[in-house]
Structure 1
């Protein structure tokens, strides 16, 4: 069975290696593969997926009842939002600001956070409530929060690698499976079970897309 803490750390280490790639620094101010994102902004967004876990662990556990992963994705404002929606503009601007000190400084912050989290997560209770302040007034278990960050790390590492022309970082099989499982659940939520079934088994009846988002 996959371990959410091991999965997160594996994805975080892969992202840290990508962030130190010279191709990322060289392309820092260029447009990325994502519309309206620079390479530096995308790197900042990738780094944030690690650094925000340190913030969540440092905060006092929230007192509200935790919700499930699919309920979480039903509430977040960015799912289904247009590129120029206020939430997406704020995410892009925040990511650019996060990376404002440049690639070397960003990489050092992530490197330090990964080292700190390797110890902190080993001692953490995966069932404790945890929340990120920009979500809204709800929390997840720490294990579920880590699952959301692991998926974000995998997706945005691919975005960044494509943007600078380097291979997408590999993940251990267990971690890749956990990311695929979460994306599959979200795809079923969006497109329905039959759409997922056909996309994976019957190309002639497959829908045009089963993208999770």
Structure 2
């Protein structure tokens, strides 16, 4: 008998909306205190400065606005777990758009304040089931907001890495959603049950073809913390460096998942 098909993970729409708004507010609060010198600092994202990164964070949120401005597609044709695999193809266009946004909004405090207020208004106006045409395909608004939580969580970490001493907090629910979506994406990329990937306290998935584990301690286990997982999944840190730095514990002959990473860029 073939194994039962795994049920797709669901996300609480109210918690996701609250998480996106909370994480955006954390970023906005931090940006208010950045000096011109700090905004000019380099980031780990190629040629982007901190100013470019902040502009991109706002741009990632207003992707909701742009999608709602377009007619709703006739039907959903992708699931949210497929979104991470669609990001790389759009990287050049995103980079150009980011530079334009940074140039057009010299007052980043005012820009993020407008992004926040306009997003709240849109979320009040539109039901979660409203379909959006996204870079990955047609998704409901509630599902697309999960991807915005990923963007915000990942780029908050980028911001903290770029500015010494900056400690923008991660909203717990935003970090949880980002961790779970990227863990599920790994299971989609490498389906199977021979390796268990644990990212406590938010996610556990099984992946990689091979003998399926049924009970007791799995023979192949990978375990890491949520921020390290986000960095691995998005290419901020390599598998080799994470293992060498004791940020990842991997045991078993099928526990080396470095060849499957990153999942998105």
Common fold by TM > 0.5:
yes
| Structure-to-structure mapping, 1:56-135, within 5 angstroms | 56-74=67-85, 76=86, 78=88, 87-101=90-104, 103-104=106-107, 106-132=108-134, 135=135
1:11 to 23, 35, 41: 23
Runs of 5+ unmatched residues, structure 2: 1-10, 199-220, 225-248
Where 1:31 maps in the other structure, the secondary structure is coil
Bigger fraction of residues in helix: 1
What is the distance in 1 between the residues matched to 2:165 and 2:171? 19
What is the distance in 1 between the residues matched to 2:188 and 2:83? 12
- Map of 1:203 onto structure 2: 250
- 1:77 deviates by 5.2
The structure number with the bigger radius of gyration is 2
What is the distance in 2 between the residues matched to 1:21 and 1:177? 27
4+ aligned runs moved over 6 Å, structure 1: none
**Measured at CA, do residues 127 and 66 of structure 1 come closer, stay the same or move farther in structure 2, by a change above 3 Å?**
farther
What is the distance in 1 between the residues matched to 2:33 and 2:61? 17
8 Å contact kept, 1:131–1:139? yes
Task: Work out which structure has the larger RCO, using CA pairs closer than 8 Å and 6 or more positions apart in sequence.
Answer: 1
**Measured at CA, do residues 167 and 125 of structure 1 come closer, stay the same or move farther in structure 2, by a change above 3 Å?**
same
| Number of aligned residues | 200
- Map of 1:176 onto structure 2: 175
The TM-score with structure 1 as length reference comes to: 0.79
- Map of 1:47 onto structure 2: 58
The TM-score with structure 2 as length reference comes to: 0.65
RMSD: 2.7
Bigger fraction of residues in strand: 2
8 Å contact kept, 2:127–2:141? yes
Where 2:73 maps in the other structure, the secondary structure is coil
